[in-house]
Structure 1
Amino acid sequence: MQLGIPVGIVLIVVMLVVPLPTVILDLLIALNITGALLVLLVAMFVRRPLDFAAFPAVLLVLTLFRLALNVSATRLVLLDGYAGKVIDTFGHFVVGGSLIVGLIVFLILLVIQFVVITNGAGRVAEVGARFTLDAMPGKQMAIDADLNSGLIDEDEARRRRAEVHAEADFYGAMDGASKFVKGDAIAAIIITVVNLIGGFAIGVAQKGMSFGEAVETYSLLTVGDGLVSQIPALLLSVATGLVVTRSTADEDMGTDIMRQITANRTPLQVAGGAALALCLIPGLPKLPFIIAGGAMLLASTRVPSSGQDEDLPDESTAALPPAADTPESLIEDVRVDPLGLELSADLVDLVDATSGGDLLVRVKGLRRKIAGEIGIVVPPVRTRDNVELPPQTYAIRLFGVEVARGQAPPGTVLAIGDHLDDLPGTAGREPVFGLDAKWVPIQLAAQAELAGATVVDRASVITTHLSEIVTRHAARLLDRQDVQVLTDVVKRTHPVVIEELTGQLSLGEVQRVLQGLLQEKVAIRDLVRIFEAMSLRARDTKDTDALVEACRAELGMAIAHPYAVGGVLEAITFDPLLEQRMLEASRQAESGTVIALDPDLLQRVFAELGQVVSAVENRGARPVLVCAPQVRAAVRRLVGAIVPHVPVLSYREVEGVEHVRSAGVVSGQPASQLTG
């Protein structure tokens, strides 16, 4: 198979210079016609153009093969006056032995191929190549948007990008291949004219034939050769047109056409009635039109009318009695969903697939995306409408309590940017980062992009908002059943780790440790290392803070790396004296380790820390607070209300970072001492 095509092309080149016996020529002509028919049938049965991506190369090879057969046949016709049984039969039997009839049939086939099919296919291929190249950036952006929203994974995105590039390459190749078909048609005209003139000259001048004998011998053979060449050429031209005009579908062309033609009975009835009406024209034969019209009307009776079954009630549904108020149904009604999304009545179109709404699909993709990012299985999001919500409003609920609300006006997109005053719309804010934005009509999306704004559709706004809420409350969403599922997954590949873990800690204690990690946005994807660190530390203590710190130490650089922008970590630290006072003031409480410092000192620490954080953020950097591992958890509780967005890391967690830059030192000293 690997050498078949190269060897075949070499043999085609050999045919151009080496005379062939008539028996071999007959066999190759039959192979040419059969191959062209095969290509046509394959083109009819593909479901999308890329399923026959090798077509441009096949078209070139078969065109070269046909031209080589033309050369071989011309050589035999002019030398021997005989080019095999196939050409002789086409010259005498197919056209009735008439030169005029043969030339007319040949010219008709040539006009059909050259003027109609080849020109049309070439134009379609040219426009298809241009449109495909123009659409590439948009398709790439759509793939990136689906990837970012979690609808697809990296492998699917890579496959789609490869398909987009393959489609552009295919239509570009088809644009060039259509030129081969057009050139082949022109070559056929020239070869036929040369054969006619050369045949007359050889027959009359060299072989002493009369004009009639020369016409009978050479002209009919030339016409036969032309017909033998034009029939497969016409088949390939039709195949070219079918491939370049084929749109992507789930079925082959024949099934697709029949399904669409018979989708409605009205066109068949009108066509049948029109055919029968033609019988009223005097002089026209009645029988053909009666047969054609009757066939159309008969076919229309077998096609269901559109909407025939739409108004029929669902008998199975109608026959169902009303559900009884069983305890199970009542419990289901009062059950509190961990995660819920409520939409006002005018936002229901976002979940209506018939009107293009894909919010539910995006939410499913979001669950997959979050699972891959932070390692938890997000519970199903129960989406419902709520008539009590104001128009254009959606609400996100956590265990039945509303935790976030936003707007998504129908018929609009959210334009995020600074220069939006010239665009009509409703001012608003991006719900996650609080950026200035405006809801503009969807028709002005392109204009907003030209103004430098980032345009986001309504479903993406809601999905992004939901993702932020889930990430913020991931610890609360991780219940004991989820922990059981996670341990079962690890047990399949690392049974010893789970056996050692469950022998020392209960499922509830493991849950509290994982929740402690998630509260500070630490991903728990690397469960094997987390469980190993938990097991080792549990031999000495079952204190949740200690177990959390052991897991964080094991994860190490994986925690600090996301905060290192460009490989540089902007670290805010405490003065050694202040940090020593914190160690001495550490107390064990029911909720964990706390730091009992003097209130005045705490106020100075909070004020100074806020100033340092603001200074770092004002220069576009992202600060982290670094302290001793013994007080890290207590410091997090202490400063969480002042700078909740600033991560608190321990010295051990930043050891693997390549560059740690000091962004400031908090000492807690009075302003007079700092000035002095």
Structure 2
Amino acid sequence: MKRLLNIALDNAVALGVVVIVLFLIIPLPTFLLDFLLIVNIGLAIMILMITMNISEALEFSIFPSLLLVTTLFRLGLNVSSTRMILRDGYAGEVIQNFGQLITGGNIVIGVVIFLIIVLVQFIVITKGAERVAEVAARFTLDAMPGKQMAIDADLSSGLINEQEARARRQKIQKEADFYGAMDGATKIVKGDAVMSIVITLINFVGGVIIGMVMGGGDFATVLQTYSIVTIGDGLVSQLPALMISTATGMVVTRSVSEGSLNRDVIAQFKAQPRAMMTTGVILLFLGVIPNTPHAALIIGGGGLVGGGYLVKRSMERQKTIAAAAEGAAAQPEEAPPSESDYYKDINNVYSLLTVEPIEMEFGYSLIPMVDEGQGGKLISRIVIFRRQYAQDMGFVFPSIRLHDAASLGTNQYVIRIRGEEVARGEILVDYYLALEPANPLGEIDGIETVEPAYGIPSRWILPENREMAEVYGYTVIDPLSVMLTHLSETIKKYAYELLNRAETIQLVENLKQSSPELVEEAIPSVVSYATLEKVLRSLLKEGVPIKDLGTILETLVDALGQGRDVDAATEQVRGALARTITRRFCEDGQLRVVTLDAEVEKKIISSLTRNEQGVYLAMGPDLMQQIVTQMAEYLRKFNELSQTPVILVSQVIRGYFSKMITQFYPGVYVLSFNEVTSSVQIQAIGNIAMDTASRKAVGQ
């Protein structure tokens, strides 16, 4: 029994629709018809109240389907009442009482009022709602591509994440579907109004004919009887229809509201006390003119003037309280001590010795981009970048101290690592940065500059020139993205300096949650925190993610257990991270590289020298000059291919050669053959070789 009850509840709406359809066939008893007519009126009132209290249309997304169901319900009741009217000349107390109420003993007046109600619904409410729904549907569909592009732009710039973008896309799709459904649903409302007029005519004409022919009554009695029930039936059906038509108009016009209709009306009228007082004065003026309704105009005008005055006084009082609160908040409770008095305490001097891991200083004009109170988005964008960098590289860089600096120009900013300046830039807040392509289709007016992160020739252009610049092939970036890109690239470059002992311990503690046995075996008995920090720094410096800390630690335990030094152990770790390194530098299954000639590698191996500090590369200046010169030519090829410059060498010399070449070209990465997986196709775009004279010297 309980299971059947649950099934019935789960399918209540479907069963209700089936029952409504049966109303068209099965005769209803009078008491049940009365009850259902009251339910119909109550349902219409509830729908109208809901539409007046929602802030946006999607809060009542079932309305198009509900509109169909309520219309079918109303028509089913109309058919049932028509059957009773034509058969008995009576359709229950509800219809009879409504008919007597509207006629008031005068059938002509009742017919006129009924026709007015029908025409108001059909011509004014229904027609207007139909037009608004049609326009809303068309404009919503037309605006979809622009809204989708705006979401994609926010996603690519980091303002929102993928989950938020997906939710916004779904909302746009739901809006389009809803307004499209409303466009069709208003046709149902229009058809319902037409059908109500047809049913009313059938009830009246058919009832009179049946009453005269079959009932045998006189014409006046028949006319009186069927007029009352016809008007009552039409009124009982038209009142809910009128309210639902009004609700339809409410739903499709809730496009720019911020709250419910009640709240919006009160708030927006209260915001215009001067208009209320002006209207009241005009009504008072009309009230003193002869032959006008003096009492009504004077009462209405006086009420508006008084109400407007009270609203104005309330607004002024609220402004005074807000200003007093702001003044109290802005006024310091105690005057701060002077600088000389503050530093008399020697403990306060130690606060000057603190060095921030990352620090960013701004000129005055850039403060609104940082201050969240003024709508600045830099902090939220940094949070998104920190999360992304942690996912990619396995390292959480510390918090960034942001503050203004009077010593900088108004449009300048400085990035400091450990208290020292490492990068500087200048941006124009009211402009866009257009990166020049290799072969622009046209020239755009702007202020010539250089993009701070990558050194690309660029121009600061006015916002109105943005579309034209994109047509010419320029890449246009907003000022905040320019600054954030510079900051992110700087952090990537100096991330290895930000990894200190405390961060290393934190990474180990995080690993301990998933691999406690490994951490207990390795640290500190085999691998000290100092050694692990040195290895992790070396990996970060060369752009290798340290996310797989478990593999790094396992490999270090094996390498150090075999008696290898830290540099050799680091190279073994890189080999264990071959898949990670390959994914980091490989594109579309291909790895474009520059290789070293066999003679060059032999010469480099012979240049390795060991002393008390360890092994170092003592390469002759001639060979070094040849390698640097040839690498400069290959860098141009990498730039043309838009690829990261990679040199592929043997594992023996990789670490030493990398330290040498990055002194000249910091953006070049050196990989060994055992760091590239076998599934990758290696494509050599060049080979660094010794010239003829050097070859002869080597041969001698």
Aligned residue for 1:601? 623
Deviates more, 1:21-30 or 1:123-132: 123-132
- Report if aligned partners of 1:370, 1:467 keep a CA contact under 8 Å in 2: no
Residues of 2 paired with 1:109 and 1:11: CA distance? 29
1:98–1:220 CA contact under 8 A, matched in 2: no
Corresponding residue SS for 1:382:
strand
Separation (CA, whole Å) in 2 of partners of 1:534 and 1:257: 71
Alpha-carbon distance in 1 for matches of 2:441, 2:402: 33
The answer (yes or no) to whether the contact 2:186–2:248 under 8 Å persists in 1 is: yes
Residue type of the partner of 2:294? L
- Which residue number corresponds to residue 422 of structure 2? 403
Q: 1:544 aligns with which of 566, 586, 589?
A: 566
Moved more, 439-448 or 251-260: 251-260
Counterpart of 1:30, as a letter, is I
Paired residue for 2:335?
A: 322
Secondary structure of the 1:320 match is coil
What CA distance in whole angstroms lies between the structure 2 residues aligned with 1:452 and 1:169? 36
In the alignment, the residues of structure 2 paired with residue 414 and residue 291 of structure 1 have an alpha-carbon distance, to the nearest angstrom, of: 58
1:222 positional shift: 2.0
Partner SS state of residue 151, structure 1 = coil
Equivalent of residue 116 in structure 1, options 124, 146, 150: 124
Answer yes or no: is the 8 Å Cα contact 1:91–1:97 preserved in 2.
no
The one-character-per-residue Cα deviations of 1:554-573 (angstroms, maximum 9, x if unpaired) are: 32212112322221111333
Matching residue of 1:439: 460
Query: Which residue, 510, 514, 517 being the options, matches 2:532?
Result: 510
Task: Name the structure 1 match of 2:367.
Answer: 348
Which of 221, 229, 238 lines up with 1:230 in the alignment? Answer: 238
Counterpart secondary structure, 1:597: coil
1:264, 1:305 → 2: CA distance? Answer: 16
Cα displacement (A) at 1:239: 2.1
Letter in 1 for 2:532: V
CA contact (8 A) 1:276 1:293 kept: no
Q: Is the 8 A contact 2:280 2:303 kept in 1?
A: no
Q: Are residues 1:427 and 2:454 paired? A: no
Give, as a single letter, the amino acid of the residue that structure 2 aligns with 1:438: R
CA contact (8 A) 2:276 2:305 kept: no
SS in 2 for 1:308: helix
Instruction: Please give the alpha-carbon distance, in whole angstroms, between the structure 2 residues aligned to 1:272 and 1:589.
Output: 99
> Which deviates more from structure 2 when the two are superposed, residues 382-391 or residues 631-640?
382-391
Contact 1:78 1:199 in 2 (8 A): yes
TM normalised by structure 1 equals: 0.89
Matching residue of 1:636? 658
Distance 2:370 2:591 in 1: 43
Q: Is residue 2:493 matched to residue 1:472?
A: yes
- The 1-side partners of 2:134 and 2:473 are apart by 33
Q: Kindly provide the amino acid, as one letter, of the partner of residue 463 in structure 2.
A: I
1:99 pairs with 2:107: yes
2:508 to 475, 481, 487: 487
Deviation at 1:518, TM superposition (A): 1.1
Per the alignment, in what secondary structure is the counterpart of residue 226 of structure 2? helix
Count residues in correspondence: 674
Aligned to 2:27: 19
Contact 2:544 2:584 in 1 (8 A): no
Q: Deviations over 1:377-426 (max 9, x none)?
A: 23333333333333433332323333223332232222334448554322
Mapped to 1, the partners of 2:126 and 2:615 lie a distance apart of 82
> Which deviates more, 312-321 or 87-96?
312-321
Distance 2:615 2:109 in 1: 104
TM value normalised by structure 2: 0.87
Residues 379-390 of structure 1 correspond to what in structure 2 (within 5 A)? 379-390=398-409
Partners of 1:185 and 1:638 in 2: how far apart? Answer: 87
Shift of 1:636: 0.9
Contact 1:346 1:391 in 2 (8 A): yes
CA deviation profile, 1:222-280 (whole Å, cap 9, x unmatched): 22222222222222222222222224777544334434443565455555555655554
Which residue in the other structure is 1:570 paired with?
592
Q: Is the 8 A contact 2:442 2:472 kept in 1?
A: no
Query: How many angstroms apart in 2 are the aligned matches of 1:95 and 1:544?
Result: 103
- What is the rounded CA distance, in whole Å, between the counterparts of 1:178 and 1:97 in structure 2? 36
Alignment of 1:117-136 (within 5 A): 117-136=125-144
Q: Deviations over 1:18-66 (max 9, x none)?
A: 3222222222222222222222222233333222222222222222222
1:33 to 41, 46, 59: 41
**Which residue matches 1:79?**
87
2:152 aligns to what? 144
Kept after mapping to 2: 8 A contact 1:49/1:246? yes
Q: 1:660 to 1:91 in 2, by over 3 A?
A: same
2:434/2:477 contact within 8 Å kept: yes
Residue 376 of structure 1 aligns with an amino acid whose one-letter code is: F
**Distance of aligned partners of 1:334 and 1:604 in 2 relative to their CA distance in 1, 3 Å threshold:** closer
Specify the alignment match of 2:5 in structure 1: none
Gaps of 5+ in 2: 1-8
Residue 117 to residue 536, structure 1, CA distance change in 2 (3 Å): farther
In the alignment, structure 1 segments of 5+ residues that lack a partner are: none
Matches of residues 208-219 of structure 1 in structure 2 within 5 Å? Answer: 208-219=216-227
Distance 2:161 2:621 in 1: 51
Cα offset, 1:107, TM superposition: 3.3
Between the aligned partners of 1:660 and 1:639, the Cα distance in structure 2 is 21
Distance 2:620 2:72 in 1: 93
**Preserved contact between residue 25 and residue 84 of structure 1 (Cα < 8 Å):** yes
SS at match of 1:82: coil
Structure 1 residues 329, 140: CA separation in 2 closer, same or farther (over 3 Å shift)? farther
- Alignment match, 2:320: 308
For 2:409 and 2:442, locate their aligned partners in 1 and report how far apart those are by CA, in whole Å.
Answer: 26
Shifted more, 228-237 versus 374-383: the winner is 374-383
Q: 1:444 to 1:223 in 2, by over 3 A?
A: farther
Instruction: Answer yes or no: is the 8 Å Cα contact 1:414–1:456 preserved in 2.
Output: yes
Q: What is residue 42 of structure 1 aligned with on the other side?
A: 50
Contact 1:275 1:293 in 2 (8 A): no
Q: 1:235 to 1:328 in 2, by over 3 A?
A: farther
Measure how far apart 1:637 and its partner are. Answer: 0.9
Pick aligned residue for 1:377 from 384, 390, 396: 396
Distance 1:624-1:289 versus aligned 2 partners, 3 A rule: same
Match status 1:455 vs 2:455: no
44-53 or 540-549: bigger deviation = 540-549
The answer on whether the counterparts of 1:567 and 1:659 sit within 8 Å (CA) in structure 2 is: yes
Q: Structure 2 vs 1, CA of residues 600 and 203 (structure 1 numbering), >3 Å: closer, same or farther?
A: same
Q: 1:417 to 1:615 in 2, by over 3 A?
A: closer
Query: Aligned ranges for residues 160-239 of structure 1 at < 5 Å?
Result: 160-239=168-247
Q: Distance in 2 between matches of 1:448 and 1:211?
A: 84
Structure 1 residue aligned with 2:4: none
Match of 1:364 in 2: 383
CA change 1:319–1:385 in 2 (3 A) is closer
CA distance in 2, matches of 1:372, 1:276: 71
Is the 1:149–1:366 contact (alpha carbons within 8 Å) kept by the matching residues of 2? Answer: no
Per the TM alignment, residue 328 of structure 1 is displaced from its structure 2 partner at its CA by 6.2
Q: Match of 1:428, SS?
A: strand
Quote the Cα distance in structure 2 between the aligned partners of 1:158 and 1:193.
53
Deviations 1:329-353 (A, max 9, x none): 5544553332233332233332355
Give 3-state SS (helix, strand or coil) of 1:314's partner. helix
| Alignment check: 8 A CA contact 2:647 2:669 kept | yes
Q: Do 1:47 and 1:250's aligned partners in 2 also have CA atoms closer than 8 Å?
A: yes
Is the 1:416–1:436 Cα contact (8 Å) retained in structure 2? yes
Q: State the SS of the aligned residue for 2:113.
A: helix
